[in-house]
Amino acid sequence: MEFSTNVKHARKSKGYTLEELSEKSGVSRSMLSQIERGDKNPTINIASQIAEALDETISSLLGEEEKRSISIIRSHERLVYKDGKTKFERHLLSPPANDVEFILNKLPSLKETGIFPPHKKGVEEYIYVAKGKLQIQLGEEPQIYTLEEGDSLYFEADVNHRFVNLSEEECNYFLIINSAKRMYR
C-alpha cells in the first residue's frame, strides 16, 4: 500500500520518530506503527491528522507523481481512498503533487465523515454538491451550513470541519483544496 510507505518516508525525511509524529498528529504510536507496516488502513480522519502533522496532503501520501504541464487521470487510474468504517470514498481527480487538489467525495446515505482537523492557515476549501443534501459543520462550536444539489460553499479551512449526508441517497460533492497560500505553523 503506497499510503503506508509514503507516511513512513515522509516521517523519516522530516526526522520525526514515531513518538514525535504521534504527539503532532494525535494518533497513537502503535496505530502509526501499524499503518506504516501496512497492517492497518486508517480512517479518512486519521489519515487527515497524519497528513496535517507531516505538512503533506492526503493525496500526496496516497501516491507520488511528478508535476507536469499536462496530466490526464483516467477513471481507472485515479487515486481512491475508501474508508472501511464509513464507506466514504475520496476520488482524487487532479495530480497528487499539486497545491490544488480536485476531489470527488462520495458519502453514503445518512453517513458522516467524522471531524477533519484544521489545515494550516491559508488553506481554502471549495465545495459543490452534485447529488444529495450535505451538511457542513465548521469550527469547535460548529457553524452549520446545509447545501443542496447545485449549491456551493467556500471556507478558510484552518478550522475543524465535518460533512454529513442528510439524504437517503449517496451524496456526491466536489471538493477543491487550495494549499498554495498555506502558512507553516
**Residue range 110-167, pLDDT digits in tens:** 999 999 999 989 999 999 999 999 999 999 999 999 999 999 999 999 999 999 999 9
DSSP string across 2-50: HHHHHHHHHHHHTT--HHHHHHHH---HHHHHHHHHTS----HHHHHHH
Strand partners, 145: 136
Four-CA torsion 67, 71, 76, 77, nearest 10 degrees = -20
CATH of 2-62, one of 3.40.50.300, 3.40.250.10, 1.10.260.40, 3.30.390.50: 1.10.260.40
pLDDT class of 38 with cuts at 50, 70, 90:
confident
pLDDT class of 177 with cuts at 50, 70, 90:
very high
Residue 63 in this model has a pLDDT that exceeds 80: no
pLDDT at 141: 92
pLDDT at 90: 93
Domain definitions of the chain by residue range: 2-62, 80-178
pLDDT at 66: 54
pLDDT at 2: 84
Which superfamily is assigned to 80-178 in CATH?
A: Jelly Rolls (2.60.120.10)
Higher pLDDT, 92 or 57: 92
Q: Which three cell numbers stand for residue 107?
A: 458519502
